[in-house]
Amino acid sequence: MKIYGIGMVIQSVEKELYELEYALNKEEIRRHGSNVFILTENIIKELVYIYGYLLYGKDYKDRLAKYGRTNKLMFGKAINILEKINKADIISKSIILNELGREYLVFDPKSNLLENLIKCSKIRGKILHEHGLDIDKIEEYKNEVKRGVELSFNALRELKDKDIFPTIVEFDSTVHSKEKNITYFRDEIGTRIPIIINNYSVDDIKNNQWYIFRYSNIQNLVPVVNKIDAFVNDTIEPKICDLNIPLENNNFDFGYLKIIGDDKIISINSRKLTVGRLSTNNIHLTNRSISRKHCLIEVIDKYVYLVDLGSKFGTYLNDRKLIEGERVLIMSNDIISIGMGNETVKFIYKVGEKDIDER
Q: What is the pLDDT of residue 243?
A: 58
Q: What is the pLDDT of residue 130?
A: 66
Q: What is the arithmetic mean of pLDDT over 5-26?
A: 87
Least confident of 45-54, 89-98, 213-222, 298-307: 213-222
Nearest to 55 by CA among 92, 88, 89, 82: 92
User: For the chain, what are the domain ranges?
Assistant: 6-223, 240-358
Amino acid at 140: E
Q: Output phi, psi for 349, to 5 deg.
A: -95, 135
Residue 321 zone, left/alpha/beta (φ > 0; ψ -120 to 50; rest): beta
- Across 50-64, 81-95, 153-167, 171-185, the highest mean pLDDT is recorded for 153-167
In whole angstroms, how far apart are CA 262 and each of 5, 136, 178, 251? 31, 30, 60, 20
Q: What is the pLDDT of residue 132?
A: 60
- Do the Cβ atoms of 285 and 313 come closer than 8 Å? no
Q: Kindly report the CATH number that applies to the domain delimited by 240-358.
A: 2.60.200.20
Q: How confident is the model at residue 154 (pLDDT cuts 50, 70, 90)?
A: very high
322 or 207: whose pLDDT is higher?
Answer: 322
- Do the Cβ atoms of 277 and 285 come closer than 8 Å? yes
Mean pLDDT of the chain: 82
CA end-to-end distance (rounded Å), the chain:
40
Q: What is the arithmetic mean of pLDDT over 69-93?
A: 86
Q: What is the arithmetic mean of pLDDT over 253-265?
A: 81
- State the Cα–Cα distance between residues 192 and 173, nearest whole angstrom: 9
Residue 355: pLDDT above 50? no
pTM exceeds 0.75, yes or no: no
Residue 101 zone, left/alpha/beta (φ > 0; ψ -120 to 50; rest): left
